[in-house]
A = this chain, B = another copy of it.
Amino acid sequence: MKILGIEHIGIAVDDLNKTSSFWGNILNIFHTHTEVVESEKVTTTIFDTKKGKIELLSSSSSNSVVEKFIKNKGTGIHHVCLEVDDVSHAIIELKEKNISLINDKPKIGAEGYKIVFIHPRSTGGVLVELAEKPK
């Protein structure tokens, strides 16, 4: 497994328009697109600094993980995503090292990336996503 960089940080938001205005209009970071990620029940609005993206996550369905997160912790940074060369290989390697994963097989996330989430209990409290860019 090779870590290629910070792909994005995911931010749980309740007011998508107001928060988008901060990242897009105040900081003037380029807005690439907005998409619904069915597997995570979220709508994500993506801003790209060209060296790491900011993904705003708003719940698109009740009982989504983002809705639960906001109920427990309030709005704020939800996870960090690192780009990896090969997510299937990363899963094998992490399991061998007894790292707790949230999904055992790669899922498809925003922008078609193949993704896996590492449980915060194995990372010191941080939800870490690993993502492989679609070919």
> Among the listed stretches A15-23, A33-41, A60-68, A107-115, which one makes contact with chain B, having 4 or more residues with CB under 8 Å of it?
A15-23
- For A76, what are the chain B residues with a Cβ–Cβ distance below 8 Å? 120, 124-126
Tell me, rounded to whole Å, the shortest Cβ–Cβ distance linking A106 to chain B. Answer: 17
Q: Please, how many residues of chain A have a CB less than 8 angstroms from a CB on the other chain? A: 42
1/0 per residue, CB under 8 A from B, across A22-64: the answer is 1000111100000000000000000001111010100000000
A5: which of B4, B15, B51 is its contact (CB, 8 Å)?
A: B51
Chain B proximity of A26: nearest CB distance (Å): 6
What separation, in Å, do the CA atoms of A124 and B22 have in the docked complex?
8
A19 and B51 contacting across the interface, CB-CB below 8 Å = no
